[in-house]
A and B are shown apart, each in its own frame.
Chain A
């Protein structure tokens, strides 16, 4: 049995998230969600050792402990209160992976409200820092439950700015704009197409292209053939299982 066959879907997703930060060098990786948090830590422990990680409070972590680590297990290296995070955001030395309640064909993201914003069907958390993040530094998204309700033709409220909206807003919006990848429980998606429409970059092992197409509320660009997301290596699986997530929090986000 190869490692890929023994890896769970959650573990494949963690490695796919880690891959988002490959080649970024010394930037602040800001993962939201359990599996992106595992992914960012895995990237730092393997192919992206210069990544900077926060403790989720007001500091940067020198060590790379489990996502379930208690505060006493953290070794801190610098102060990063909320106000200083904006210095990092606006300087561009950051690659965030946010969650998206909705994401659309051109990488616009919504985490503010479902329905008409003026009187929403469902009020969510608010735009948070998504507008500023997306036009200042590299942004990726994580969608743990891929469905036609999360992958939509048009998001109800553009929080994170996609390629079409950035272009319409002009050079000040496109200058530092990059939506790198969207990782879901079904596959990995990017915007490496002539008009920056979302492309299926790879399907996770065991997922059919038809499954992805059926779960997506717009027409994806489909390469032929569609690659399969790479399997975790033996070392990566050991890091995820033994070091980064021994309590299997990842299974709650993406059940096997």
Chain B
């Protein structure tokens, strides 16, 4: 069996301009933020971003790397709306495919099952069908003859997810309460990338949690990278909760180009080690009473 360990740089090195890329997690929870920053450093652009949207969407929009966003919502949870995404939408700088979040789930499932679509009631009667004129309905071939929405497969060129633990073969373990839709993002993608707080030897995951917590199997993984703090500033329980102070700074920087430039230079214009050093420095400031809210 192969050792699938790779660096973040090797992962994003496989991306090309114009690709459709999915990001796991949900809102501001267990988002693969180290991978998002690596995507920024790689220079790829014109991406179609597919996500249960959080700051992954906001950061990529703010950096001008996004052509289109496919989403059911974009939120920071404790802050209802991501201001960077709002700005991109209100300025018309990104295209959008906005669907019901259950339709989104079925789109990923259809892709993972190699089906063209899955049927659902969700979307019927709503303006989701008006604003996505490409969506079609399908009539049940059985006696009920119900007309349902045919949610098309959301095929991805690449997907990134971040988990608590992984092994070198690419099995992934979620120790927090919700595995979200990460396995479906991987199943829907041609190139499948997992980052983890810690990468252990094969067979070692059960030292960290029960068998049911290994929700990503190596069948779904092409490469795995250790990325401690890789979901920061989003939550990654039980390893860490959301960094609310950092998230506030991220959100408020949207209001002012100078503040965003400073945020960008300090946190996004640096490599992963530089980012973690900056975050550690922030924490030390707060401990010393010198900063934070």
CA distance A136 to B178 in the complex (A): 24
CA distance A124 to B85 in the complex (A): 10
Q: With both chains docked as a complex, state the minimum distance between the C-beta of B152 and any C-beta of chain A, in angstroms.
A: 16
A131 touches B123 (CB 8 A): yes
Given contacts A81-B180, A127-B126, contact A176 B90 (CB under 8 A): no
Contacts of B91 in A (CB 8 A): 119
Given contacts A117-B131, A131-B123, A132-B103, contact A125 B75 (CB under 8 A): yes
B89 in contact (CB, < 8 A): yes
A157 in contact (CB, < 8 A): yes
CA distance A176 to B148 in the complex (A): 13
Which of B86, B89, B92, B105 contacts A86 (CB under 8 A)? B105
CA distance A160 to B179 in the complex (A): 27
Contacts of A166 in B (CB 8 A): 124-125
Which of B122, B180, B181 contacts A132 (CB under 8 A)? B122
Given contacts A86-B105, A120-B90, contact A127 B180 (CB under 8 A): no
A83 touches B180 (CB 8 A): yes
Which of B74, B90, B98, B125 contacts A161 (CB under 8 A)? B125
A112 in contact (CB, < 8 A): yes
B89 touches A123 (CB 8 A): yes
B105 touches A83 (CB 8 A): yes
Contacts of B73 in A (CB 8 A): 125-128
CA distance A9 to B92 in the complex (A): 41
Query: Chain B interface secondary structure, helix, strand, loop or mixed?
Result: loop
CA distance A168 to B130 in the complex (A): 13
Against B, the Cβ 8 Å flags (1 = close, 0 = not) of A87-122 are 001100000000000000000000011000111111
B100 touches A132 (CB 8 A): yes
Contacts of A176 in B (CB 8 A): 121
Given contacts A122-B90, A123-B86, A127-B98, contact A173 B124 (CB under 8 A): yes
Against B, the Cβ 8 Å flags (1 = close, 0 = not) of A151-182 are 00000011111000110111111011100000
A126 touches B71 (CB 8 A): yes
Q: With both chains docked as a complex, state the minimum distance between the C-beta of A67 and any C-beta of chain B, in angstroms.
A: 15
Count residues of chain A with CB under 8 A from any CB of chain B. Answer: 47
B90 touches A173 (CB 8 A): no
Q: With both chains docked as a complex, state the minimum distance between the C-beta of A195 and any C-beta of chain B, in angstroms.
A: 16
B250 in contact (CB, < 8 A): no
Given contacts A158-B126, A172-B121, A172-B146, contact A82 B181 (CB under 8 A): yes
Contacts of A89 in B (CB 8 A): 102
Contacts of B120 in A (CB 8 A): 90, 132
Contacts of B71 in A (CB 8 A): 126
Which of B101, B123, B124, B177 contacts A57 (CB under 8 A)? B177
A55 to chain B: closest residue by CB: B177
A130 in contact (CB, < 8 A): yes
Against A, the Cβ 8 Å flags (1 = close, 0 = not) of B72-90 are 1111000011000110011
Against A, the Cβ 8 Å flags (1 = close, 0 = not) of B217-238 are 0000000000000000000000
Against A, the Cβ 8 Å flags (1 = close, 0 = not) of B132-154 are 00000000000000111000000
New A-B pairs, 15, CB < 8 Å, besides A57-B178, A127-B98, A157-B127: A59-B177, A79-B177, A81-B178, A83-B181, A90-B102, A113-B89, A123-B86, A128-B100, A129-B122, A131-B125, A132-B120, A161-B125, A168-B125, A172-B148, A173-B124
26 residue pairs of the A-B complex, CB under 8 angstroms, read A58-B177, A82-B181, A83-B180, A86-B102, A89-B102, A112-B127, A117-B131, A118-B92, A121-B90, A122-B86, A123-B86, A126-B72, A128-B72, A128-B101, A129-B72, A131-B100, A132-B120, A132-B121, A132-B123, A136-B121, A158-B126, A158-B130, A161-B126, A170-B147, A172-B121, A173-B125
B residues at A contact (CB < 8 Å): 26, 52-53, 71-75, 80-81, 85-86, 89-92, 98-103, 105, 120-128, 130-131, 146-148, 177-181
What 6 pairs between A and B have smallest CB-CB spacing?
A132-B122, A126-B73, A169-B125, A58-B177, A131-B126, A161-B125
